């Protein structure tokens, strides 16, 4: 891949084979989750959300039986 100037930033174009392997489509957002010498790791926002939900589910939290979510209370400042 060639690094190109894009405004004040640098950009790369992803080869079609990589796009297909990652299941990407136009408008998807990627986050760089790790960067090491000559290697980067990315994940989509959907992957990040799925991982966060799995992490929360693994905590096995149980809410009290009488718990009721109150949107107004949650948004009080």
Q: CA–CA separation, 64 vs 49, rounded Å? A: 25
- Please give the C-alpha separations between residue 61 and each of 49, 56, 58, 70, 73, in angstroms, as whole numbers: 18, 8, 8, 19, 21
- pLDDT at 41 (0 to 100): 85
Q: Whole-prediction pTM value?
A: 0.50
Quick one: tokens of 27?
């408008």
Residue 48: how many other CB atoms lie within 10 Å: 14
Quick one: three-class SS letters along 37-51?
CCEEEEEEHHHHHHH
- pLDDT at 32 (0 to 100): 81
- pLDDT at 48 (0 to 100): 86
pLDDT digits (tens, 9 = 90+) for 8-64: 999 988 899 989 988 888 988 888 888 888 888 888 888 888 989 999 899 988 888
């Amino acid at each position: 891949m060639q690094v190109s100037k894009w405004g004040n930033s640098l950009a790369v174009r992803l080869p079609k084979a990589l796009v297909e392997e990652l299941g990407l489509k136009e408008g998807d957002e990627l986050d760089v989750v790790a960067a090491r010498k000559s290697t980067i790791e990315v994940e989509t926002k959907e992957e990040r959300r799925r991982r966060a939900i799995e992490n929360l589910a693994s905590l096995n939290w149980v809410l009290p039986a009488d718990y009721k979510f109150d949107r107004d209370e949650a948004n009080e400042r």
